[in-house]
A and B are shown apart, each in its own frame.
Chain A
């Protein structure tokens, strides 16, 4: 079983490390997106958001066939209002057309002009596609996730002493400590590792296991998704005009229906027409299942017409597994626990990768040249494990330092991410592996530690202000960056300490590669 654990984890670990880091960041997708648009920093929640949105829509798009209101919440304190623009009456198909919108500060009603960036969405997409596109990226991540599941299960079975050593961590003992760390982060967050790997595969199950669906829906491609995940029906315009009902009472009615959970999105179809419909979507907070829940109201009388999202057992099971992976239901404290587990998973993969190579590669004496394969593995390990955090930091730096008016700005931020990552492989190539580890970790720590400073210099929301007056998202982001810097600094310190101890250990044996040592081992 130990061999299965080792070969399931390698080489998938290089991909899984990237998946774990981007996935952990994705728990904070709205917060990252908000921080990366500092023009929105002043936005505050306000109870009259709906009235404000309706006023704007009446003013700017009275003839639109579709209004969309995304209400502010504590994670995204802006009010986003959108409408279908440029559809001609008569031949208007609501799903085809130009969509316009504005972002508002709910407390002042001022229109905000955020900079162009992909924000936290980049990490979420990268998490399951790695920038390789819908087919290759998703399949590669899927294969690696399957390898991960095998590695976790075989790891638990192969290493039964795991539970005897449940609370054990012995620092300062070289390879023994790294092994302890690998076991500890693996076992302590074992429920999470199993859950997140399994549910991750579930999110793409129709792509990975298409046989059943393709057999049943052979003559109707696409029919399955329409039947399995039905959307509320679209309204029909009548051409007769009628006054739109007040929205606030509908909000309260929806909240009662959902046991106090607030609507997150309001869609109004054909406002001002007798056939108008108001559709409310429940916020994801507090319910495990990921499937959307909707209530449809008559847009003129305000009558509740239908409720969507009460589903069959099988669909609920799918929705819950999907929802557990996304963790959008969780409170702030639970989200931090998910993030902690994500960090533990990242450390587990990283230590696993290093242990794999250390165990299989012959120890070499001081000054001895490494074998080519050993060197390649070292460079890939170093460039991946230290390069990705650095790339993340560089992505945030680029967001603050690239000119706001730069053409294709979002693409340039992403280019900076990949360029930094690629450069770290080159940097690993040019250095001795033992010195590269602490140096790169230290560089990463420095880049993260300086981010609050860069933010303070480029925006007016520096830690001195945000800690006292908010916005809390900024304070939280900056403190998290300092936290990541501390983690990388610990890694730098531990990898720099490695060397003297190993020398010491080698002192009481013989230089590696001698016949004597081979006999003894």
Chain B
């Protein structure tokens, strides 16, 4: 279980929520066309699948699956609260969190590689 997989799960759910008209209005102040909506929806689904695979890769499938469901709930709670009280932050974080997570990942890998 890591920050990266949480960030991906959050981004995935946020993308799925933005593909819904109600939340698109809250975040972008307008509804999206069919094209971007479809893109957001498929990106959301892909991100969730990637986060599942990464969790399973780090904890194994038995425990990893459980962790992924837990993370899905935790990130969904974050997503709903942000959409309710800070809708714009919900959209911004969906882009920023995974980017931040990738930086953390690269840093960790670098530290692991540079230290014996």
Contacts and interface: CB of A to CB of B under 8 A. Distances in A.
Interface of A: 164, 166-171, 184, 188-189, 191-192, 195, 286-288, 320, 324, 329-331, 333-334, 337-338, 340-341, 344
B88 to A, nearest CB: 15
Contact of A340 (B20, B22, B77, B84): B77
- Closest A-B pairs by Cβ, 3 of them: A337-B70, A167-B17, A188-B76
B83 A167 contact: yes
B62 A288 contact: yes
A341 B20 contact: no
Contact of A330 (B17, B20, B66, B80): B66
Nearest to A337: B70
B73 A189 contact: yes
Contacts of A166: 17, 20
Interface in B62-90: 62-63, 66-67, 69-74, 76-77, 79-81, 83-85
B41 interface: no
A195 B76 CA distance: 18
Interface residues of B, number: 24
Nearest to B22: A168
B84 A169 contact: yes
Contacts of B73: 188-189, 191-192, 337, 340-341, 344
A330 B84 CA distance: 31
Most B Cβ at <10 Å: residue of A167, A189, A331, A344: A167
A191 B77 contact: no
A167 B66 contact: no
B101 interface: no
Contacts of A168: 22, 80
B17 A191 contact: no
A288 B63 contact: yes
B17 to A, nearest CB: 4
A324 B62 CA distance: 10
A188 B71 CA distance: 11
Contacts of A189: 73
A286 B67 CA distance: 12
A169 B66 contact: no
29 contacts: A166-B17, A166-B20, A167-B17, A167-B20, A167-B76, A167-B79, A168-B80, A169-B80, A169-B84, A170-B84, A188-B76, A188-B77, A191-B69, A191-B72, A192-B69, A192-B70, A287-B62, A288-B62, A288-B66, A333-B1, A334-B1, A334-B66, A334-B70, A337-B71, A338-B70, A340-B73, A340-B74, A340-B77, A344-B73
